[in-house]
Chains A and B, each alone.
Chain A
Amino acid sequence: MANPLAMLTMTAIKMYVRNIQVIFFNLFFPVMIVVIFGLIIGNGNATMNIGVVDQAHNPVSQTVLDQLRQVKAVRLYTGSLESERAALEKGDRDAVVVLPPSLGQSPVALSAYYNAGKPQESSAALAIMNRFVDEVSFRYAQIQPSFTLTAQPVHSRNLSYIDFLVPGVIAMSIMQTGLFSVAFSFVAFKQLGILRRLMATPMRVPDFLLSRIVTYLMMAVVQMAILIALGLLLYHLHFVGNPVYLIIVGFIGAAIFMAIGFTISGFAKDEGAVAAIANLVSFPMMFLAGVFFSLSNEPAWLQPITKLLPLTFLADALRSISLDGANLWAVRGDLLGLAVWLVITLVMAIRLFKWEVV
């Protein structure tokens, strides 16, 4: 391969994937965040813990239980009245329903206990129970319901924390890669005299810069793919986005943070200074921009500021695209914010980045 740009790019990719530290921070770290937060904060939609005390022990009660087991949102427990009530009091159940011996011979009187501290979950659990018991009872009693209800499924945005988290972590890892990889490697290359040695060859500087930029953009795509795949495999991520839009927005975000990285490498004296400055930029942003938690939890006075952060625009756009299936026009507000940031950071990079060979 005698083409300098192609060779430099291949070289940059090799260096990237062989650097365990970089792989850890850019790939493994975001993955860990998603896995750990997913485990701690919960998997998918809220599940309801329903305890059923089966006093009927007949085909009808058996069918009710079987059907309940099919419902994804329900975690079903069975036991005696005492044990289930005890579990309810401990907060381990959202509702406990007793299927009386007379089940299957209408009318049915169901007694239910619910957790007053969790009214939402409890009422949902009771509604589900009602529906199932009614339906099964009707079937077994051979009674035709006097009317039939045709339910139209509406795909509502029934989002979980993971759905919120994954696009945020994608935005975060794009930021980290752009900021740290660029700033660290350029300061190191400069310090070690590597750039000087390269300048003694006929290498064109734009080729070198481009090879690095292309590499980091490719890594941004890999990060997105890994995090989305992880969300889909482990946490039933609600992903309806167009990958092309995602990549376009990701590239714009990566360009902004790379420009900041180039800017930092322009004035940071050594790698220690890079670490300090890059962390100073990225750490507050990570928490203020709504990567992990919704911005609506922030104090009102802070919101006008955090809403203008580049990471906020990036995370919001990625979220709209992957969760709502938004197109680029639909996220034009975020894109405009990103465009303004891109101009600002590019001007900074051009002003402050120094190739500084001799």
Chain B
Amino acid sequence: MSVVTRPEESGLSTQSQGFAIVVDGLRKRYGSLVAVDGISFRVKEREIFGLLGPNGAGKTTTVEILEGLRKADAGRAIVAGVDVTNDPQRVKSLIGVQLQASAFFDYLTLVELIEMFAALYGRQVDAPAILRRVDLEEKAKSRVKTLSGGQKQRFSIATALVNEPRVLFLDEPTTGLDPQARRNLWELAQSIRKDGRTIVLTTHYMDEAETLCDRVAVIDHGKIIAMDSPITLIDQLLARGFRRRRVEREANLEDVFLDLTGHELREA
């Protein structure tokens, strides 16, 4: 799969050059609740960018605005060179979205679903090749409900790849997966980035963000309260005098678990 390159929108080019996403002063309120309170950030091309934050912090709303699913009250967001607030449909055709609850039509095979999703973008695709990309070639004729948790998430990512998106949004892709499947999904995310795509990842797992993300933004109460590379944020914390009460050993329990059970994927 090759990188989709589209001409940048002329009026916005100076601002979004080299960036997959430019967000400026985004605001969204529901009644009296301010969900997003003036958020600004930029995501570079081919970056894996993490959005972290407790539940209700505003990260989901932010992502949904970027995906063209919600309208912002104020501010601007340019995704893949397109102003989301002006042209959400156009943005949708340039991005890929993996949603947290990965439900798909029942009674259809994986190949049929991939072909259907491709048609929604006006495309015809080599569905088996896309399934091979996420290691699901053997499941081509199966239904989603027969897949394991990890396979479901990989399939969900496959449906998000049918339009060769410039930006891929992953919403808690490893929630509920066993350590083997999580690692497998991390490898997939890294290889998708190698294809030249930008990834925006929301997660509650800090080890995941630390492993995958080039930079993370920590959101709370609708505002970004920190944004940098994980290692820089850690260094900053240590510089403020933070010390763990108990010194970690060279390995942790997950290392023990993986050593005992192996890295091999467990899938029915």
Contact B69–A11 (Cβ < 8 Å): no
Q: Which of A2-10, A49-57, A64-72, A213-221 contacts B (4 or more CB under 8 A)?
A: A2-10
A351 within 8 A of B: no
Contact A196–B69 (Cβ < 8 Å): yes
A11-B112, A202-B92 are known contacts. Are A197 and B120 too (CB-CB below 8 A)? no
User: Measured between alpha carbons, how far is A2 from B119 in the docked complex, in Å?
Assistant: 4
Choose one: A1, A6, A15, A200; the contact of B106 (CB below 8 Å).
A15
What is B's interface to A at a CB cutoff of 8 Å? 64, 67-70, 89-90, 92-93, 97, 99, 101-108, 112, 115-124, 159, 163
Contact A15–B107 (Cβ < 8 Å): yes
How many residues on the A side are at the interface (Cβ–Cβ under 8 A)? 25
| CB-defined contacts of B105 to chain A, threshold 8 Å | 11, 15, 194
- The residue of chain B having its C-beta at the shortest distance from the C-beta of A185 within the complex is B105
* 8 shortest interchain CB distances as A-B pairs: A7-B119, A192-B103, A200-B97, A18-B107, A201-B120, A193-B101, A15-B107, A203-B120
User: What are the interface flags for A329-358 relative to B under an 8 Å C-beta threshold, 1 for contact and 0 otherwise?
Assistant: 000000000000000000000000000011
Contact A2–B124 (Cβ < 8 Å): yes
A192-B101, A202-B92 are known contacts. Are A2 and B118 too (CB-CB below 8 A)? yes
Q: State the Cβ distance, A132 to closest chain B Cβ, in Å.
A: 60
Which of B90, B120, B123 has its CB near the most chain A CB atoms (within 10 A)?
B120
A11-B105, A192-B101, A358-B69 are known contacts. Are A200 and B92 too (CB-CB below 8 A)? yes
| CB-defined contacts of A194 to chain B, threshold 8 Å | 103-105
Contact A197–B122 (Cβ < 8 Å): no
Which of B90, B103, B117 has its CB near the most chain A CB atoms (within 10 A)?
B103
Contact B120–A4 (Cβ < 8 Å): yes
Which of A2, A15, A193 has its CB near the most chain B CB atoms (within 10 A)?
A2
A197-B103, A202-B89, A202-B93 are known contacts. Are A14 and B121 too (CB-CB below 8 A)? no
Q: State the Cβ distance, A131 to closest chain B Cβ, in Å.
A: 61
- The residue of chain A having its C-beta at the shortest distance from the C-beta of B156 within the complex is A197
Given A197-B97, A201-B121; 13 other pairs, CB 8 A cutoff: A2-B123, A4-B120, A7-B115, A11-B112, A19-B107, A192-B101, A194-B104, A197-B102, A200-B68, A201-B92, A201-B120, A202-B93, A202-B120
| CB-defined contacts of A8 to chain B, threshold 8 Å | 116, 119-120
User: Measured between alpha carbons, how far is A73 from B22 in the docked complex, in Å?
Assistant: 85
User: Measured between alpha carbons, how far is A194 from B144 in the docked complex, in Å?
Assistant: 13
A159 within 8 A of B: no
- The residue of chain A having its C-beta at the shortest distance from the C-beta of B106 within the complex is A15
- The residue of chain A having its C-beta at the shortest distance from the C-beta of B70 within the complex is A358
| CB-defined contacts of A108 to chain B, threshold 8 Å | none
Q: State the Cβ distance, A19 to closest chain B Cβ, in Å.
A: 6
A248 within 8 A of B: no
- The residue of chain B having its C-beta at the shortest distance from the C-beta of A5 within the complex is B119
A198 within 8 A of B: yes
User: Measured between alpha carbons, how far is A193 from B90 in the docked complex, in Å?
Assistant: 22
Contact A2–B107 (Cβ < 8 Å): no
Q: State the Cβ distance, A210 to closest chain B Cβ, in Å.
A: 14
Q: State the Cβ distance, B208 to closest chain A Cβ, in Å.
A: 22
Provide 24 A-B residue pairs closer than 8 Å at the C-beta atoms, listed in order of the A residue. A1-B115, A1-B119, A4-B122, A6-B119, A7-B116, A8-B116, A8-B120, A11-B105, A19-B106, A192-B101, A193-B103, A194-B104, A197-B97, A197-B104, A197-B159, A199-B69, A200-B99, A201-B92, A201-B97, A201-B121, A202-B89, A202-B93, A202-B121, A203-B120
Q: State the Cβ distance, A8 to closest chain B Cβ, in Å.
A: 7
Q: State the Cβ distance, B104 to closest chain A Cβ, in Å.
A: 7
| CB-defined contacts of A14 to chain B, threshold 8 Å | 107-108, 112
Choose one: B93, B99, B123; the contact of A197 (CB below 8 Å).
B99
Contact B69–A200 (Cβ < 8 Å): yes
